[in-house]
Amino acid sequence: MTTPETDPAAHPSVATSVTIRPYRPEDEATVVSLWSRASRIAHPFIEGEGTGERERKLREIYLVQADNWVAEVPSRGVVGLLGMLGSEIGGLFVDPDAQKLGIGRRLVEHALRRHGTVTLDVFEQNSSARAFYARLGFREIGRHPEEDTGFTAITLELSA
Q: Which of 114, 90, 94 is nearest to 102 (CA)?
A: 94
pLDDT for position 102: 96
**How many other CB atoms are there within 10 angstroms of residue 112's CB atom?**
17
Check pLDDT > 60 for residue 97.
yes
Mean of the per-residue pLDDT values for the chain? 89
**Reported CATH class of domain 8-159:** alpha beta
Check pLDDT > 80 for residue 3.
no
User: For 54, which DSSP code?
Assistant: H
For residue range 79-96, what is the model confidence (pLDDT) as tens digits?
Answer: 999 999 999 999 999 999
Query: Which is more confident, 51 or 14?
Result: 51
Check pLDDT > 90 for residue 69.
yes
Q: How confident is the model at residue 7 (pLDDT cuts 50, 70, 90)?
A: very low
Q: Could you please report the per-residue DSSP string of 57-81?
A: HIIIIIHHHSEEEEEEETTTEEEEE
Looking only at the bridges linking them, the beta strands covering 88-94 and 117-123 are: parallel
143: which strand partners? Answer: 154
Length of the chain in terms of residues written: 160
pLDDT for position 13: 55
For Cα atoms 51, 118, 144, give the angle at the middle one, nearest 5 degrees.
60
Looking only at the bridges linking them, the beta strands covering 19-22 and 67-73 are: antiparallel
19: which strand partners? Answer: 72
| Helix residue spans in 1-126 (DSSP H) | 12-17, 28-42, 52-57, 63-65, 103-115
